[in-house]
C-alpha cells in the first residue's frame, strides 16, 4: 500500500495523523532554519563553489527562489533572536510572521513583540504592527504597489533576500563587507519557447532615452518596436561593456607590458575571458564549478606579493566572493579582515575629504553668487542714479541754452551741477551755472 494513500484510515486516525504531520513539519522547519543559519554564518557555500547562500540553496539544496529567500531571511532573524527557533518549532509563529516582524525587531523590543505575535495569523500580525508602528498613508500606498515589493532574489534592508552574486557578512566574521546585488522590481516571465514578457516601470529620463534610441534607429527599425530597439541597444551596450571590462575587441593590438606588476594587459584579459568562458573558475572538491557570471574579477593564481606573474597561465576569472575567499585561505582571514578594514577606512576618509571639498566648493559658490548678486544690485542702483542724473541734467540744458550756452557747454555744466537730481529745477540751474567755466556777468539771477 502506498505511503501516501490514506483512505484506509478512520476519520479520528486521519486527523491525529494530520496534527502529527504538522507538528513534525514545524519542528523540521525550525531545524532547517538552524542549519541554514549556521551554514550561512560559516559561509560554507563558498568552498561548495557557490557565490552566495541564495545560490547554494537554489543550486545545491534545490529550493525554489522564493523558498530560499524566505528561509534565509527567517534563519538570519532566528539566529539573531534565538527565541524564534522555539516559537516556529512549537507552532507559535509561522515563517510569514517572522518575515513580517523582521524589519521591526530590535534587541530592545524583540521579547515584547515576539510574545505579542505568538499564535497570531498573518493579518493579525499586520494589525499588531500597524498599532505599534503606524505609517503614513502615502508610505502604506507605496508598499502596497507591486513595484515596491521585493522581487525573488532581491536584497532587502536588514539582510533580506539574496540574489546570485551576493556576498554576506556576519557579526564577528572576517568576511568581506556586504555587497548587495539587487534585482530591480521587474517581472520577466517566460510566455512561449524562447519568448519572455518583460514588465517594468522606468523613470522619465529612461523613457526619454528610449525615445531617443527609437529615433536614432529609425532607419534600422522603422516600426520603433521597443523589443527590437532594446535588443539592438543591448548589443551595443554589451560590446562596450565587454571591451571596457575584459578588453574584448575585433581588432586586438599588441600587448603592452606595464611597469606596474598588477597591471593586466588587454591581450591577457581577452585570452583569459575566452578561456574561462566568462564564468568564475572556482571549483569545489566534488567538482562543482561556481556558476557566477556577474561581479567577475581577474585573479592571480600565484599572488603578486609572492612573485606571481601577469601571464595567461597565472590569471583566472573569479567572482568577488571566491576571489576574497581564496585570499583569506592564502593569507589568513584575520589579515584580510584588517586589510579590508584599512581599505574601508581609507575609502571613508576619501569620501569625507571629498564631502568637505564639495562643502567648501558649495560655500564658495554661494559666496560668489551672493557677491555677484550684491554687485548686480549695486550696479543697478548706480545705473538708476545715473539715469536720474541724466534726466535731471536734460531738464537744465534748455535753460542754459537760453542763456547763450553752446550745446556741449550746456551739457557739461548741467551734468556737473546735477549732484542732487531731486532738487528743484531752479536750484539745479543755479548749480549748473556755478559749475560752468563762464564768468558770472551776463547770467540770469
pLDDT band at 126 (very low <50, low <70, confident <90, very high): very high
Contacts 24+ apart (CB under 8 A), 385-393: 385/421, 388/421, 388/422, 389/415, 389/418, 389/421, 390/415, 390/418, 391/421, 392/418, 392/421, 392/423, 392/428, 393/417, 393/418, 393/432
Q: Could you tell me if 292 and 378 lie in one domain?
A: no
Residues 48 and 109 in one domain: yes
pLDDT band with cut points at 50, 70 and 90 for residue 245: confident
Give me the mean pLDDT over the 290-316 stretch.
90
Question: Which residues share a beta bridge with 189?
Answer: 197
* In-domain check, residue 209: no
How many domains is the chain partitioned into structurally?
3
Same domain, 18 and 127: yes
Tens of pLDDT, residues 219-235:
898 888 999 999 999 99
pTM above 0.75, yes or no: no
Strands (E), 193-319: 195-199, 296-300, 315-319
Closest CA to 71 of 49, 105, 40: 40
Distances (CA, A) of 66 to 29, 72, 322: 15, 10, 25
Q: 299, 317, 335 — which closes off a domain? A: 335
Phi, then psi, of 296 in degrees rounded to 5: -85, 150
Helix 407-416 and helix 425-435, axial crossing angle in degrees, nearest 10:
110
Query: Are residues 37 and 174 located together in one domain of the fold?
Result: yes
The alpha carbon of 190 is separated from its chain's Cα centroid by a whole number of angstroms, namely 28
pLDDT bracket for residue 44 (50, 70, 90): very high
Same domain? For 359 and 285 the reply is no
Together in a domain, 350 and 330: no
* Residues contacting residue 154 through CB under 8 Å, at least 6 positions apart: 69, 160, 161, 163, 182, 183, 184, 185
Q: What CA–CA distance (Å, rounded) separates 97 from 105?
A: 12
Q: What's the N-to-C CA distance of the chain in angstroms?
A: 138
Where among 335, 359, 374 does a domain terminate? Answer: 335
Q: Are residues 182 and 235 in the same domain?
A: no
pLDDT band at 154 (very low <50, low <70, confident <90, very high): very low
For residues 361-389, give the mean pLDDT: 91
Classify residue 73: in a domain, yes or no.
yes
Return the minimum-mean-pLDDT range out of 25-39, 60-74, 155-169: 155-169
pLDDT confidence tier of residue 60, bands split at 50, 70 and 90: very high
In a domain, 420, yes or no: yes
Show Cβ contacts of residue 320 under 8 Å, excluding neighbours closer than 6 positions.
51, 165, 167, 176, 179, 295, 296, 297
- 305 and 252 in a common domain: yes
Strands (E), 209-350: 296-300, 315-319
Ramachandran region of residue 287, left (φ > 0), alpha (ψ -120 to 50) or beta?
left
Task: Write down the pLDDT at residue 389.
Answer: 84
3-state secondary structure (DSSP) of residue 318: strand
Residue 326 shares a structural domain with residue 353: no
The boundaries of the domain holding residue 266 are 221-335
* 276 or 140, higher pLDDT: 276
pLDDT > 50? residue 151 = no
Torsion angle of C-alpha atoms 132, 97, 160, 150, degrees rounded to 10: -90
Same structural domain for residues 260 and 300? yes
Q: How confident is the model at residue 351 (pLDDT cuts 50, 70, 90)?
A: very high
- Give yes or no: residues 363 and 234 share one domain: no
pLDDT on residue 289: 96
Residue 2 counted as domain residue: no
226 assigned to some structural domain: yes
Q: What percentage of the chain has pLDDT greater than the value 70?
A: 84
| Residue 70, domain member (yes or no) | yes
Cell of 115: 510574545
Q: What's the chain's average pLDDT?
A: 84
CA angle, corner 66, sides to 135 and 140, nearest 5? 10
User: Among 303, 335, 367, where does a domain finish?
Assistant: 335
Pick the closest to residue 269 from 238, 295, 300, 235 (CA basis).
300
CB atoms under 10 Å from CB of 185, counted, come to 16
Shared domain check, 255 and 362:
no
- How does pLDDT run across 79-110, given as a tens digit for each residue? 999 999 999 999 999 999 999 999 999 999 99
In a domain, 3, yes or no: no
Would residue 404 count as lying in a domain? Answer: yes
Residue 423 clears pLDDT 90, i.e. is over it: no
pLDDT at 69 over 80: yes
Beta-carbon contacts of 155 under 8 Å, excluding residues fewer than 6 positions away, are 161, 162, 163, 166, 180, 181, 182, 183
Amino acid at each position: 500500500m502506498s505511503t501516501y494513500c490514506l483512505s484506509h484510515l478512520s476519520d479520528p486516525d486521519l486527523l491525529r495523523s494530520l496534527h502529527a504531520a504538522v507538528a513534525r513539519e514545524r519542528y523540521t522547519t525550525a531545524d532547517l532554519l538552524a542549519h541554514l543559519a549556521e551554514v550561512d554564518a560559516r559561509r560554507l557555500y563558498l568552498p561548495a563553489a557557490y557565490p552566495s547562500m541564495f545560490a547554494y540553496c537554489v543550486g545545491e539544496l534545490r529550493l525554489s527562489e522564493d523558498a530560499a529567500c524566505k528561509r534565509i531571511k527567517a534563519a538570519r532573524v532566528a539566529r539573531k533572536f534565538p527565541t524564534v527557533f522555539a516559537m516556529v518549532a512549537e507552532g507559535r509563529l509561522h515563517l510569514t510572521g517572522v518575515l513580517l516582524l523582521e524589519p521591526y525587531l530590535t534587541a530592545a523590543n524583540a521579547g515584547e513583540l515576539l510574545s505579542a505575535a505568538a499564535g497570531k495569523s498573518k493579518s493579525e500580525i499586520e494589525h499588531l504592527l500597524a498599532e505599534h508602528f503606524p505609517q503614513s498613508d502615502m508610505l502604506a500606498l507605496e508598499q502596497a504597489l507591486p513595484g515596491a515589493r521585493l522581487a525573488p532574489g532581491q536584497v532587502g534592508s536588514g539582510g533580506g533576500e539574496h540574489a546570485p552574486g551576493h556576498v554576506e557578512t556576519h557579526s564577528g566574521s572576517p568576511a568581506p563587507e556586504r555587497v548587495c546585488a539587487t534585482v530591480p522590481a521587474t517581472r520577466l516571465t517566460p510566455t512561449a519557447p524562447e519568448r519572455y514578457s518583460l514588465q517594468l516601470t522606468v523613470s522619465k529620463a529612461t523613457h526619454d532615452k528610449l525615445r531617443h534610441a527609437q529615433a536614432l534607429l529609425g532607419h534600422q527599425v522603422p516600426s520603433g518596436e521597443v523589443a527590437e530597439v532594446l535588443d539592438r541597444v543591448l548589443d551595443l551596450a554589451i560590446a562596450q561593456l565587454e571591451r571596457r571590462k575584459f578588453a574584448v575587441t575585433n581588432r586586438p593590438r599588441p600587448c603592452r607590458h606595464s611597469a606596474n606588476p598588477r597591471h593586466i594587459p588587454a591581450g591577457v584579459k581577452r585570452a583569459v575571458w575566452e578561456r574561462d568562458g566568462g564564468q568564475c573558475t572556482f571549483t569545489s572538491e566534488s567538482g562543482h564549478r561556481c556558476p557566477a557570471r556577474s561581479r567577475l574579477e581577474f585573479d592571480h593564481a600565484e599572488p603578486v606579493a609572492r612573485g606571481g606573474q601577469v601571464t595567461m597561465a597565472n590569471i583566472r576569472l573569479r567572482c568577488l566572493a571566491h576571489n576574497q575567499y581564496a585570499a583569506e585561505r592564502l593569507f589568513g582571514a584575520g589579515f584580510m579582515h584588517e586589510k579590508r578594514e584599512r581599505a574601508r577606512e581609507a575609502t571613508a576618509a576619501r569620501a569625507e575629504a571629498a564631502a568637505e571639498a564639495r562643502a567648501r566648493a558649495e560655500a564658495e559658490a554661494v559666496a560668489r553668487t551672493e557677491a555677484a548678486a550684491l554687485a548686480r544690485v549695486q550696479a543697478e542702483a548706480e545705473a538708476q542714479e545715473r539715469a536720474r542724473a541724466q534726466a535731471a541734467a536734460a531738464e537744465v540744458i534748455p535753460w542754459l541754452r537760453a542763456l547763450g550756452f553752446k550745446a556741449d557747454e550746456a551739457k557739461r555744466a548741467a551734468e556737473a551741477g546735477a549732484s542732487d537730481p531731486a532738487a528743484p529745477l531752479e536750484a539745479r540751474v543755479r548749480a549748473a551755472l556755478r559749475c560752468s567755466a563762464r564768468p558770472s556777468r551776463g547770467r540770469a539771477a
